[in-house]
Amino acid sequence: MKMKKILIIFAHPAIARSKINAAMRGAVEDLGGVTFHDLYAIYPDFLIDVADEQKLCQAHDVIIFQHPLYWYSTPAILKEWLDLVLQYGWAYGVKGRALEGKYFFQALTAGGDTDSYRKNGLNTFTIGELTAPYRATANTCRMEWLPPFTVLGMHRGMSDEEINRHAEEYRRVVTALRDGTFDMQKAKQNEYLNSNLDLTIRKV
Amino acid sequence: MEHFLLQLFIFLAAAAIAVPLAKKCGLGSILGYLLAGIVIGPFGLSLIGDIEEVMHFTEFGVVMMLFLVGLELKPSLLWQLRIPILGMGGTQVVLSSAAIGAVSLSGLPWQQAVAVGLILSLSSTAIVLQTLRERGIMNTSPGRSIFSVLLFQDLAVIPILAILPLLATVAVIDSGTHGSALFDTSSLPGYLRILVTLLAVSFIFFIGKFASRPIFRTIASTRVHEIFVAAALALVVGISLLMMAVGLSPALGTFLAGVVLAESEYRHELESDIQPFKGLLLGIFFISIGASLNFTLIGDHAPLIAAVVLGLLGIKWLVLMITGTLFKMPRSERGLFAIALAQGGEFAFVLFQYAKVNGILPNDVVEPLISAVAISMFLTPLLFLLHARLTAGHDGDRQDRAADTIRHQGNRVILAGFGRLGTDLGRFLIASGIRPVILDHDAANVDILRRFGFEVYYGDITRLDLLAAAGAAEAELIVITIGDVEKARELVHLVQKHYPHLKIAANASDRPAAYELMDEGVAIIRRETFGSALSLGQDVLKLLGMHPYEAYKLMRIFRKKDEDSMPELYKIHRDDEEKYISMYQQHNADLEELMKMDLDADMEEELDKAWSVGKLEG
């Protein structure tokens, strides 16, 4: 079976101060078939090269947005990226089929814990509800949407073991996606991509 | 020598007194000169001697004026004007000659009537162009039409000179030489004469197109300004001599040279060098016209001369109105067109003299006609005033036109200095669709840049006349990238004084230079090396392993803090200076102040405030 190519579009304006994102990055950066693309490093002045970005997207089968959840959304540069790169006639519209059939999901980290992302919690809405715009975006671009890989509760503080566990899970998901051992249909039923990993990843 | 100086003094002093007075009364400089001439002339205080000699010499001002007009007319523009020149000019000259000739037939034999018609059809280039300039209508559409007709008239002088001898009826009194002093082509057979003439014209083209650039560059590189002036004058005088030698109008020759040089980078410099000479010569020329008015003759033949003046102005006005209509000139412009060209011209003096000498017209015909021409010239500025008065109130048309010229020439940037910094700045502006007028005083630099299609002109930008020639009156802003802060200050002074509307953006070589520009009240100042220093700093942070975005952010924060601190540091710097500390101490004091500021600025903290909650992270 042909290996899938994976593009991780990474957006964190202060990676030096984010242990979890650094760990997750470290866990996947060196994997074969994976392109790790740090937007803030490549475009510190936000001058995004649209043609380059589009070529990059077309050369991959899975597109992941890895980012912290800022104000229920992405860091600023990722919004800029969406605004510029997903052009009409390329990403959407009758003739915009460049992204058709590619898999898309977010790998996000957030400060609040699971309880806060509930109807009666501090944040009022669930992660699934809050990430609806990205689901809609994937839909408009005819992409296969998957639930977000979610790491919550960063504000409580997180032990190194816990961080490493999340990073390792991230690595498992990305590897399984690449190798075609990930059960997309089962995964779609879950709230998060990283819930019940033992059920969604087939043993080879 | 003493006599010459005395005469010179009388002319200059008369001009210096009369022109400001006339301007004060709203009459324009030409009327001032003419009045000054009457006052110092034989019928006034009788202060001057040989008027005709003076008039003859100062006619050269007209030649210089046409050279300057040529400099402002690129060949492409001239080509655009070919229909007005040939069409309007031709119609005007032919119809005016015919009409004036027909009227003259009532009192003169036909040969004389033809001669009078031809000579009086010409208008006064000197007075009209000067007035158009002064009133700022040279580049409007009626201004262009008027200029086109004048240009055709200058061309027409050549065939008129050829036709006149055929009309001789009177026995020749004086068969003195009228050819050139250098080389008389009239002794050559016809075909050779044409050949020599063509050669002379192509020589002018060759000089302007190919030889002028290396010559001017060599001269400019000596950086002795008066030598450039000398070369410019030599060029104009030399071409005039050449033209006279082959029997062409010198004005026409220098006009051609001007057109050829209109695309040269030395254009502004030539313009500002010739300008004062032209102005003075023309002024004295106008004075001599005023002085030449023969009031005894005018008194004796008052009714006749009055009739001739009115007839001349009336007929030419009518012909011009018809010409304007034929060429579909807008109604509102026709009036100005007709008024502007209705007078007789300075060529008439020359041609009447020529006609008298060659036995075409008798003296008793010539004398009153010359007076009539002079009076009509005298009346022209008054007619302009009258026209302006009459049309000032009532048409909205004028406003449309004014807006048009602003749109056409506006939005311009003058880039003063095209050195290391100016080059990149100029490239950036051009790439952004802004075409600045670039001025630089390094001749070699100018030459190379021109080859790459930049609009670069050679000249010392701190001269007011060059600033004017670069279009400072219409420009929107001036960017000063001169390394020498003294020069930059001088330029800032000049701009603030004469063109207060111009926005100023300046480059300063270092911090003290920036302070000096701040003394002048310049608001937009960039320190030359500051941007590069910060960019290098950003690179260093990246090379040390810092995330590129953080390096970028730190650079931005530092830049902002530095800019914010400028006013305060400026104040401290000036306070220290009042204590008369040495320059070396001053430098140390400044540096100390800077370092204190940098150590106090906790940029890391500023960076930390975003994207994190306390010391935790998300």
**Domains of chain B by residue range:** 2-401, 411-528, 540-550+558-613
The DSSP secondary-structure symbol of B477 reads E
CA distance B540 to chain A (A): 15
The answer to whether position A1 is within a domain reads no
In angstroms, the separation between the Cα of residue A165 and the nearest Cα of chain B is 17
Apex CA B232: angle with CA B230 and CA B237, to 5°? 90
d(CA B275, CA B272): 5
Q: Could you please state the CATH topology (level 3) that the domain comprising B411-528 is classified under.
A: Rossmann fold (3.40.50)
For residues B421 and B445, is the Cβ–Cβ distance under 8 A?
A: no
Whether residue B372 has pLDDT greater than 70: yes
Least CA distance to B538: which residue of chain A?
A44
Q: 3-class secondary structure for A14-59? A: CHHHCHHHHHHHHHHCCCCCEEEEEHHHHCCCCCCCHHHHHHHHHC
- pLDDT band of B614, cuts 50, 70, 90: very low
pLDDT at B406 over 50: no
Structural domain contains residue A148 = yes
Which range has the worst mean pLDDT, A63-67, A169-173, B176-180, B585-589?
B176-180
Strand partners, B440: B458
- Strands B437-440 and B456-458 come out as parallel
Banded model confidence at residue B400, pLDDT cuts 50, 70, 90: very low
Q: Which residues of A touch B612 (CB under 8 A)?
A: 14, 17
Which positions of chain A have pLDDT values less than 50?
none
Cβ contacts (< 8 Å) between A15 and chain B: which residues?
A: 547
A88 falls within a domain = yes
pLDDT computed for residue B615 by the predictor: 41
CA-wise closest residue to B27 among B341, B379, B332: B379
Residue pLDDT, tens place only, B442-461: 766 777 777 776 677 777 77
Residue of A12, A17, A80 for testing the chain B interface, max B β-carbons within 10 Å = A17
Tell me which DSSP letter residue A73 carries: B
Between residues B377 and B134, which one has the greater pLDDT? B377
Tell me: pLDDT of B138 over 50: yes
Residue B171 or residue B472, greater confidence: B472
CA distance B200 to B253: 9
pLDDT at position B347 is 78
The CA-based angle B448-B451-B456, given to 5 degrees, is: 70
The contact set of A with B (CB < 8 A) is: 13-20, 40-42, 44-45, 68-70, 75, 109-111, 154-155, 157
**Inter-chain touch A42–B548, beta carbons under 8 Å:** yes
Has residue A97 been placed in a domain?
A: yes
- Confidence class of residue B397 from pLDDT cuts 50, 70 and 90? very low
Distance from the A70 Cα atom to the nearest Cα atom in chain B, whole angstroms? 8
Degrees (nearest 5) of the Cα angle B284, B290, B293? Answer: 140
Query: Is the separation of the CB atoms in B288 and B62 below 8 Å?
Result: no
Domain count, chain A: 1
How does DSSP classify residue A191? S
Tell me the C-alpha to C-alpha distance, in Å, between residue B389 and each of A186, B40, B262, B313, B324.
91, 30, 35, 19, 21
What pLDDT is stored for residue B332 in this prediction? 78
Query: Which range among B139-148, B174-183, B261-270, B542-551 shows the weakest confidence by mean pLDDT?
Result: B174-183
Give the pLDDT score at A36: 97
Contacts of A166 in chain B (CB under 8 A): none
- End-to-end distance of chain B based on CA atoms, in angstroms? 95
Tell me the C-alpha distance between A23 and A25, whole Å: 5
Instruction: Output the pLDDT for position B587.
Output: 67
Arithmetic mean of pLDDT, B298-324: 91
Residue A141 included in any domain: yes
Are B613 and A68 inside 8 Å of each other by CB? Answer: no
Q: What is the mean pLDDT of chain B?
A: 81
CATH code assigned to B2-401: 1.20.1530.20
Are A15 and A77 in contact by the 8 Å Cβ rule? The answer is no
pLDDT at B589 over 50: yes
Q: What is the pLDDT of residue B409?
A: 43
Helix and strand numbers, DSSP H then E, in chain A? 9, 6
Q: Which CATH number is A10's domain given?
A: 3.40.50.360
Which residue from A42, A69, A155 is facing B616, i.e. has the nearest CB? Answer: A155
Q: Mark residue B28 as left, alpha or beta (left: phi above 0; alpha: psi -120 to 50; beta: remaining).
A: left
pLDDT at B159: 77
Residue A108 to chain B, least CA–CA distance (Å): 10
Query: pLDDT (tens digit, 9 = 90+) per residue, B190-222?
Result: 777 788 888 888 888 888 888 888 888 888 888
Give the pLDDT confidence score for residue B613 in this predicted structure. 56
pLDDT of residue B95: 93
Measured in angstroms, the CA of A18 and the nearest CA of chain B are apart by 6
Q: Give the residue with greater pLDDT, B272 vs B448.
A: B272
- d(C-alpha B266, C-alpha B456), whole Å: 9
Minimum-distance CB partner of B548 among A14, A18, A44: A44
Alpha helix positions (H), B327-396? 331-340, 346-357, 363-392
Question: What are B's interface residues with A at a Cβ cutoff of 8 A?
Answer: 547-553, 607-608, 610-613, 616-618
C-alpha B140/C-alpha B136 separation (Å) is: 8
Cα atoms in the 13 Å half-sphere on the side-chain side of B148: 28
Contacts of B603 in chain A (CB under 8 A): none
Question: B547 contacts in A (CB within 8 Å)?
Answer: 14-16, 40-41
> Distance, in angstroms, between A9 CA and closest chain B CA?
15
Q: What is the pLDDT of residues B544-556, one digit of tens each?
A: 998 899 899 888 8
ipTM: 0.81
Give pLDDT tens digits for B415-439: 998 888 888 888 888 888 888 888 8
Across the interface, of A15, A69, A70, the residue whose CB is closest to B547 is A15
Q: Tokens 């009309």 — which residue? A: B167
Domain of residue A110: give its range: 6-200
Name the closest residue on chain A to residue B546, using Cα atoms: A16
